[in-house]
Chains A and B, each alone.
Chain A
Amino acid sequence: MSWLSNALTSSIGRKIIMAVTGLFLCSFLVIHLIGNLQLFKNDGGQAFNVYSHFMGTNPVIRTIEWVLVAGFVFHIYESIMLTRRNKAARGPQGYVVNHNEQNSPWQSRNMGILGTIILIFLLIHLYNFFYRARFGDLDPDINNNDDLYTLVVSSFHQWWYVLLYVLAQIALAYHLIHGFKSAFQTLGLTHRKYTPFITYFGYAFSIIVCAGFAVMPLYFFFIK
Chain B
Amino acid sequence: MAGSNPNAKPLNLTLKVWRQKNRNTNGQMVDYQVRDISQEMSFLEMLDVLNEDLLRKGEEPVAFDHDCREGICGSCNLFINGRAHGPEPGTTTCQLHMRKFNDGDTITIEPWRAEAFPVNKDLSVDRSAFDRIIQAGGYVSVNTGGVPDANEIPIPKSIADQAFDAATCIGCGACVAACKNASAMLFVSAKVSQLALLPQGQVERKQRVENMVAQMDKEGFGACTNIGSCAAECPVGISLENIAILNREFLAAKATSNNLA
Cβ of A14: which chain B residues have Cβ within 8 Å of it? 223
Taking CB atoms and an 8 Å cut-off, the chain B residues in 188-225 that contact chain A are 213-214, 216-217, 220-225
Given contacts A6-B261, A96-B108, A103-B232, contact A86 B181 (CB under 8 A): yes
* Overall SS of chain B's interface: mixed
Taking CB atoms and an 8 Å cut-off, the chain B residues in 137-190 that contact chain A are 178, 180-183, 185
Given contacts A89-B115, A100-B180, contact A15 B247 (CB under 8 A): yes
A189 to B250, CA, bound (A): 13
Question: Size band of the B side of the interface?
Answer: 35 or more
Is A109 an interface residue when CB atoms closer than 8 A count as contact?
Answer: yes
Name the residue on B nearest A90 (C-beta): B182
A11 to B223, CA, bound (A): 5
Q: Shortest Cβ distance from B25 into chain A, in angstroms?
A: 12
Assess the B225–A188 pair: CB atoms within 8 A: no
Q: Shortest Cβ distance from B254 into chain A, in angstroms?
A: 4
Cβ of A187: which chain B residues have Cβ within 8 Å of it? 247-248, 251
Q: Chain A, 74-99, contact with B by CB distance < 8 Å: what is the 0/1 string?
A: 00000000100110111101111111
Contact among A86, A96, A108, A178 with B183 in the assembled complex (CB-CB below 8 Å): A86
Is B96 an interface residue when CB atoms closer than 8 A count as contact?
Answer: no
Cβ of A103: which chain B residues have Cβ within 8 Å of it? 83, 178, 228-229, 232-233
Cβ of A90: which chain B residues have Cβ within 8 Å of it? 113-115, 180-182, 222
Assess the A185–B81 pair: CB atoms within 8 A: no
Is A104 an interface residue when CB atoms closer than 8 A count as contact?
Answer: yes
Is B79 an interface residue when CB atoms closer than 8 A count as contact?
Answer: yes
Name the residue on A nearest B84 (C-beta): A103
Assess the B182–A91 pair: CB atoms within 8 A: yes
Is B243 an interface residue when CB atoms closer than 8 A count as contact?
Answer: yes
Q: Shortest Cβ distance from A95 into chain B, in angstroms?
A: 6
Assess the A88–B115 pair: CB atoms within 8 A: yes
Contact among A12, A98, A108 with B228 in the assembled complex (CB-CB below 8 Å): A108
Is A158 an interface residue when CB atoms closer than 8 A count as contact?
Answer: no
Assess the A96–B110 pair: CB atoms within 8 A: yes
Given contacts A96-B108, A178-B226, contact A89 B182 (CB under 8 A): yes
Cβ of A11: which chain B residues have Cβ within 8 Å of it? 183, 185, 213, 216-217, 221-224
A-B contact count (CB 8 A): 146
Is A186 an interface residue when CB atoms closer than 8 A count as contact?
Answer: yes
A97 to B182, CA, bound (A): 16
A14 to B185, CA, bound (A): 14
A: residues with CB less than 8 A from B are 2-3, 6-7, 10-16, 82, 85-86, 88-91, 93-100, 102-105, 108-109, 111, 178, 181-182, 185-190
Given contacts A11-B222, A86-B180, contact A188 B247 (CB under 8 A): yes
A178 to B227, CA, bound (A): 8
Name the residue on A nearest B176 (C-beta): A89
Cβ of A104: which chain B residues have Cβ within 8 Å of it? 180, 227-229, 232
Assess the B115–A91 pair: CB atoms within 8 A: yes
Contact among B180, B220, B244 with A188 in the assembled complex (CB-CB below 8 Å): B244
Is B48 an interface residue when CB atoms closer than 8 A count as contact?
Answer: no
Contact among A89, A105, A185 with B244 in the assembled complex (CB-CB below 8 Å): A185
Assess the B114–A91 pair: CB atoms within 8 A: yes
A189 to B108, CA, bound (A): 39
Cβ of A7: which chain B residues have Cβ within 8 Å of it? 254
Is B97 an interface residue when CB atoms closer than 8 A count as contact?
Answer: no
Is B116 an interface residue when CB atoms closer than 8 A count as contact?
Answer: yes
Name the residue on A nearest B209 (C-beta): A12
Given contacts A96-B108, A99-B82, A103-B228, contact A88 B220 (CB under 8 A): yes
Is B63 an interface residue when CB atoms closer than 8 A count as contact?
Answer: no
Cβ of B82: which chain A residues have Cβ within 8 Å of it? 95, 97-100, 102
Cβ of B250: which chain A residues have Cβ within 8 Å of it? 10, 12
